[in-house]
Amino acid sequence: MGDIVYNVLSFIVAIGVLITFHEYGHFWVAKKLGVTVLKFSVGFGPTIYKFPAKKSATEYVIAAIPLGGYVRMLDESRDDVSDDLLHTAFNRQPLYKRSAIVAAGPLANFLLAGLLYVLVYSIGNTGLIPNVGAVAENELADRAGFAVGDEVRAVNGRVNKSWDDHHFFLLNQIVSGNDVEFTLSNDGVERNVHIDFSELEDIDLSTDSIERVMGVYPQLPTIRPIVHSVVAGSPADRAGIQSGDHIAQINGESIGEWRELIRIVSESNGETLTVQYRRDKALHNATLNAEPHRVEERTIWRVGILIDVEEQWQNSDLVVKVRLGPVEAILRGFETTWSIITLTTRLLIDLLRFEGSADAIGGPIAIAEHAGQAAQAGLNNYLSFLALLSITLGILNLLPIPVLDGGHLMFHLYEAIVGSPPTERMLIWANQIGFALLLGIMGFAFYNDLSRIF
């Protein structure tokens, strides 16, 4: 129950920030261009709170349903406009002004994402040092000349400070099929190697990581099998294993790393395990049997030993924190934003061509879960999530669907070509189709959400 509340609160904060910034983009440009704004609403439905501006005709509203918002401007199609205010009505503005006001919302989301990424890079990201730990045989990296022990010093001439330092840039290069130069160093000797990503045929980056695509993996910290805690009443608890014990052997097999412990327990199928552990420099033996647990229709065998992987990871010499200076953070922040805009647009195009997986479409439940997970993972993760969501919101609003900003821009393009706006009948039909499309997309997103749960 606590996780659900946390997810919902994280979701409301995220959506509230993004919608407010989006609508403020419309509002700010409209005011700058001399258009009267009657209402600025964050959310739809019943009003929770409202207050009028002291020096303008604008009413500010917070509504009950936090899944959108709107800026209502003075318009002769809806309002009785006095002669002295005709020049401030939205419909009386030249086409370029109306288009600028409509486009300002999505552009504000892109600007917000850029600023959030600048903040993320200024605070600093924790990651692995850029050392190669494994190279898959005969894959792209292997054929290019990557070797275990190499340090990746630069990517296309960009200094590389951590394994994921240029994640989105590299992702964009892979999707674009570009040739990328990597500067590698080993034993003080530098060399340049190239990978031509145009060699790739079918890749799905929604499921395949960059590492799998390239066939190269980072050097990982060794997580020692030191018991952090023991689940009460578990086989390990009943066998007398305690916090601080160092697991040395299981069934005579030496345990140097926690993954080895997990492997042996997972493969035991409940058979008796003889565990040797070290406590206060003395060796002790215990026998126990793993117990089955059902997880997503699979049987997982567990003994109740918990390892603090995060603490050991953070204290490893292989982990580094990369913090950029102001100028570099600004450049990297907006470069990352552009890379994600490009990648998201490609993903949408693939979906429209039925070449991508529609399972990736998520609704409010999925967004709330991701928001909660990102918030629990720390401030930088939550800010990165907000930036990514802001970009997605901006792109979705630019889709040429009536009732969205992209639909209004489509009508403006029609007006620019034909010389007059669409007729009222055309607008009614278009908006009905737009609402039907949105309901269909939202319904499919909810279906995906519920499918993941049930």
Domain ranges of the chain: 128-219+316-322, 229-307
Cα(119)–Cα(10) distance, integer angstroms:
19
Residue 53 has pLDDT above 80, yes or no: no
Using the Cα atoms of residue 29, residue 30, residue 34 and residue 36 in order, give the sign of their dihedral: negative
Residue 327 has pLDDT above 90, yes or no: yes
Task: Say what the pLDDT of residue 376 is.
Answer: 62
Cα(296)–Cα(259) distance, integer angstroms:
21
In the chain, the amino acid numbered 330 is I
Structure tokens at 141: 């990296």
Structure tokens at 427: 């607008």
> Of 10-19, 39-48, 162-171, 276-285, which range is least confident?
10-19
**% residues pLDDT > 70 (the chain):** 86
Give the pLDDT band (50/70/90) at residue 207: low
Residue 406 has pLDDT above 60, yes or no: yes
229-307 folds as: Pdz3 Domain (2.30.42)
C-alpha distances in Å from residue 377, one per residue of 126, 155, 372: 12, 28, 9
Q: Is 296 a known active-site residue?
A: no
Reported pTM: 0.80
Q: Is 159 exposed, middle or buried (0-12, 13-18, 19+ CB in 10 A)?
A: exposed
C-alpha distances in Å from residue 118, one per residue of 108, 154, 224: 15, 21, 36
For residues 254 and 357, which has the higher predicted lDDT (pLDDT)? 254
| Contact in structure between 446 and 363 (CB atoms under 8 Å) | yes
Task: Say what the pLDDT of residue 347 is.
Answer: 74
Structure tokens at 165: 């330092």
Task: Say what the pLDDT of residue 117 is.
Answer: 93
Task: Say what the pLDDT of residue 126 is.
Answer: 87
Determine the 3-state secondary structure of 356 from DSSP: coil
Give the pLDDT band (50/70/90) at residue 193: very high
Task: Say what the pLDDT of residue 236 is.
Answer: 92
Cα(170)–Cα(216) distance, integer angstroms:
14
Q: Which CATH number fits domain 128-219+316-322: 2.60.120.960, 2.60.120.560, 2.30.42.10, 1.10.3720.10?
A: 2.30.42.10
Catalytic residue among 23, 76, 139, 328: 23
Task: Say what the pLDDT of residue 363 is.
Answer: 44
Using the Cα atoms of residue 374, residue 375, residue 380 and residue 384 in order, give the sign of their dihedral: positive
